[in-house]
Amino acid sequence: METELRRRDKHEIVLDILKIARDGKRKTQIMYKAKLSYDQLKVYLELLNDRGLLESNNGFYRTTCKGLDFIRTYEEFSLFKVP
């Protein structure tokens, strides 16, 4: 069985973070599940927080309604990918 190794683009990383944080997760949990370094995570969390896709409260990060809309829209458009 072959394993395809490829880099994720920024949109896929954002999607992973938003999906992980749907029910609220701590920074460390997001970092490990999204397979990011701490420095990468800080950049993405700040970006998503500034854009209103993610909110933080008492150390927990949760995907906002706007973030959930992003997930739905991204998944709808991914149906159009050519194999």
pLDDT for res 1? 44
Strands 60-63 and 25-26: antiparallel
pLDDT tens digits, 31-70: 999 999 999 999 999 999 999 999 999 989 999 999 999 9
pTM listed for this prediction: 0.86
